[in-house]
Structures are given as C-alpha cells and as structure tokens.
Structure 1
Amino acid sequence: MTYGLSVRNDNNYIQIDSEAPRLCCVCEGTYAGTAAVTVGFPNVITSQEPPCVFIRPDPVQGTVLYGSMNIAGGPGAWTGFSIQLANITSVTGGTWFAAVFAATTQSDYGMRIWDAAGNPIYDTGSPAIAVSTAANDWPFVGMTQLEIAIAYTYVCQLPRPIGPHDHFMINPFSRWLLCAHPGNSLRMGVTVDYANNQLLMFAMGFTAWTDIGRHAAVFARIRR
C-alpha cells in the first residue's frame, strides 16, 4: 500500500491492512438439537454477503451427519442459521462461530480502523479468523450402510491435524448433491472423523456421481 496502516508479524505475515479487511469473528456460541439445529445470532450481522458459519461437533457424539444448512435473514440483516441432520434421530451439540470480511464496532476500548467509505475494517473487539487446514479432494471410497439408506461415501483427507479449537465451515455443504439422473439430487450428510483427521461425506441413494467435484473443506480457529 502507498498510504494507511499495515502490520506484519515476525514471519512477515500481514495481520492488519487498512485497505484489505480480514475475516473476523462477529459472534459465537454453542448449539444443540435433535434432528435439526437452529441458532439465532446474538446480534444481527449487517454484511451484504452471508456470513461464513463454522461448527465444531462434540467429538463424543460419533457420526452425526450434518446436511442442508440455511442462513436466516438477508443482505444487511442476517439473523441466524439452521442445519438439518441427515440421520433419522440424532442428538447433536458443539460450538460455532460466524465470520465475515469486516469488523463489528462493539468494543468500548481498543483500536478501530475505517475504510474510505466509513466502513469498519478492523476492530480489536472482532478477533481474526485463522485458517488452520484446508483440502478439496473427495475420492469415492465405496458404499456404506447407514441407518437410513445405503450411501455413496467420499473421504477428504486433511493435510494437517484437526486442532482442539478448529471448526469447519458448513456453508459449502448447504445443498444436496447432484445424481446421475438430470435434474435430480440426493440427500447428503457430512461428518468429522477426528481420529483419522478427515471429513466424510455420504450421499444417500443409488445413482450418485462417483466424482462429486471439489467441495471446500476449510477448518479455522479464532485468534484471540
């Protein structure tokens, strides 16, 4: 940049740039539900684009399958999110946070930076989100008998271990998967395999594509 504020760490990584907003946590909490999860944001998220929602299922709950996700509200007023579970009956719980490429102005003390249009792009009260690991390769590994159907199974092996504070972004898994018949789709579910450091995706049906493309498997944590 020619003018403004830029902060780098000892690895020459840009941590603050007054011309480039970073991904910031704007709210966080816990969730719980049976068959579905519904969460209301503690404050309305005012970004134009929908927030990135990251979840961390409780590791002791086994293979709870997270299916279609919806973010409530609309541009400038996002109010919460809901996730349907792909299992017949499952109790689930965990932690979540929502992030946008902007900052919220909630802190009474600290430092704040605005852009030329008066939009806050940095606030010490909006902690940064650091991506810890990511992958997008989903090889087909065979068929699996689940409680509700036979499922095509795909595994995304992560290049780094899933850390104790890592959450995965559920947004890329918010829709059903295309199947071999034009115009049709299959119910899907995704779950975290902490022990083997991978995400698993299941497509319930008999005519799924064996190559489902490259869904983004992104894990991140809040940097405090």
Structure 2
Amino acid sequence: MADSFGLMFKAGDDDRVVLDSEFARLVVLYKGRYVGTEESGNSSSTYFPAPITTQEQPLVFIRPDSAAGIIGMSSLQIFGSPGNWTGFRVRIFNMYTIKPVGRWFVANFVAMPLATYGMRLRDASGNVIFDSGTPSAQFVRSSNTWTYAGSGTTPTGLPITYFNSQFDLSEDEYMLINNLSMGAVTIAAGTASRQIDVMWNYPSRILTLAMTAYQNAIVTGVTVMTGKIIQ
C-alpha cells in the first residue's frame, strides 16, 4: 500500500487494497492449453507467444484436465533465463499416470500496455504497473501439510519417498509449478537436493509428492500454492 501520493482502490468488503499506484499487482501475461508434444505425448513443452523479459522468473500455473485416474505432473521445468523466459515443461511420472493435458497461465508483477481504452498506471521510472486490458491473478490458498506414504527405489537405483496431501482444485483454480520445479531440501534427512515429482489422484483428490535423492526423506516442507485469473 502506498504511503505517498497516487491512486488506490480498496475492496468494499474488507478494506483490502486491490490496486495501488506505487506497486504492481500480479497480472496474467499469457494463457492457453498444454498438451503432450514429445515422447509420444508423454511430455509437454509449451512456449510463450513471446519471451518474458523480466529478471525474476515469471510464475507459471497449470490446471490439469479432470480425469478418471492419476495425473502425472513431473519433470517440471521453467525454460529460459533472466531477461528471456520462454516456456515450461510438464511430463508424466510413469507409464501408469495420465499424459499431460490441461490449461495454463503465466503471470508476473508487471503489466503489458494492451488496452486501447481504459486506464493505465506507470511507476516513477515509467514502467507500466497496471493496464485495464490485462487480466490480473491472485493466490487463492497454500498448503504444506503432508503425510509420509512410503518409500522405494527408482529404476536407476535411487531412493524415492512419497508424501500425500488432500488436494482439490476448482475448475477455475490452477497450481503454481515454479517451486515444484526446483530441487528441495527435506528436514531431518541431510542437506542433499531432491528432485520433486508430482501426481494427482483426481478421483480420490490426493496429491502425491515423489522425492528422489541419494538418501530417503523423512518429512518435507514443500508448499503447494494455487491461484486463479481475475477478469
């Protein structure tokens, strides 16, 4: 919230600031659908219509299509580097999980000058921080409550540990993949980085994290975050 001069809008119900002239809000830059494009449809590489030129990594959200089975959301990756973010990747977990297909959007705390009519705000440096032609996005909720669900060994001989959490998404809600595309350090199991793979048992509404490393994990503090587009 600004403490100087400018423009501010507040929500009428809880006095929450929804637009401020000093700070950008989370806005949707691109959106669309992702489908399997590689490995006989087992892997999906999706590219943005144009590179996103922010230094910080844009936030990518996915909403897998509803399915009568376990949806694989593994080998998650954000393509690109600071100043040139180009897309993302989603893959099955194994041959028993459903191939990647669903909706996505990418957002960041910047705005694009799209509107022909309406309102546009710039900061002191001339950067666009709001444009009425750009949809906004907001985080809906987060959770890091996990239950240990067992362990095993990958085909390459590495230990793999599973954690479950009750999980559901409304049709208009999406899951953030950025933090799930990075290696994780788990509590009480050393400091080695662990690969995170994700599966969603849609009929049972259970999200499973599969964590692979040279040492079994005991607990994990990975946070799952969900968001939605606000028109």
TM-score bracket relative to the smaller structure: 0.7 to 0.9
CA, structure 1 residues 147+108, in 2 after alignment: closer, same or farther (shift >3 Å)? farther
Q: Shift in Å at residue 216 of structure 1?
A: 1.9
Q: Shift in Å at residue 2 of structure 1?
A: 2.1
Structure 2 residue 49 is the aligned partner of structure 1 residue 49: no
Structure 1 stretch displaced more, 46-55 or 77-86: 77-86
What is the TM-score normalised by the length of structure 1? 0.84
**In the alignment, which of 169, 173, 189 is matched to residue 176 of structure 2?**
169
The DSSP-based 3-state class of the residue aligned with 1:60 is coil
Q: Shift in Å at residue 127 of structure 1?
A: 1.2
Partner of 1:153: 162
CA, structure 1 residues 18+142, in 2 after alignment: closer, same or farther (shift >3 Å)? same
**In the alignment, is the contact (CA less than 8 A) between 1:105 and 1:125 conserved in 2?**
yes
**In the alignment, is the contact (CA less than 8 A) between 1:85 and 1:189 conserved in 2?**
no
Mapped partners of 2:224, 2:102: distance in 1? 18
**In the alignment, is the contact (CA less than 8 A) between 1:68 and 1:173 conserved in 2?**
no
Identity of aligned residues (%): 29
The DSSP-based 3-state class of the residue aligned with 1:125 is coil
Which residues of structure 2 form unaligned runs of 5+? none
CA, structure 1 residues 148+102, in 2 after alignment: closer, same or farther (shift >3 Å)? same
Spell out the pairing of 1:94-105 with structure 2 (5 A cutoff). 94-105=102-113
**1:52 aligned partner, one-letter code:** L
Partner of 2:90: 83
**In the alignment, is the contact (CA less than 8 A) between 1:31 and 1:94 conserved in 2?**
yes
Partner of 1:3: 5
Structure 2 residue 194 is the aligned partner of structure 1 residue 190: no
Partner of 1:203: 211
Partner of 1:121: 129
**In the alignment, is the contact (CA less than 8 A) between 1:166 and 1:220 conserved in 2?**
yes
Mapped partners of 1:13, 1:183: distance in 2? 40
Q: Shift in Å at residue 203 of structure 1?
A: 2.8
CA, structure 1 residues 121+140, in 2 after alignment: closer, same or farther (shift >3 Å)? same
Spell out the pairing of 1:64-75 with structure 2 (5 A cutoff). 64-75=71-82
What is the TM-score normalised by the length of structure 2? 0.82
CA RMSD of aligned residues (A): 2.9
CA, structure 1 residues 13+192, in 2 after alignment: closer, same or farther (shift >3 Å)? farther
Which residues of structure 1 form unaligned runs of 5+? none
Tell me the number of residue pairs that the alignment of Structure 1 and Structure 2 aligns: 221
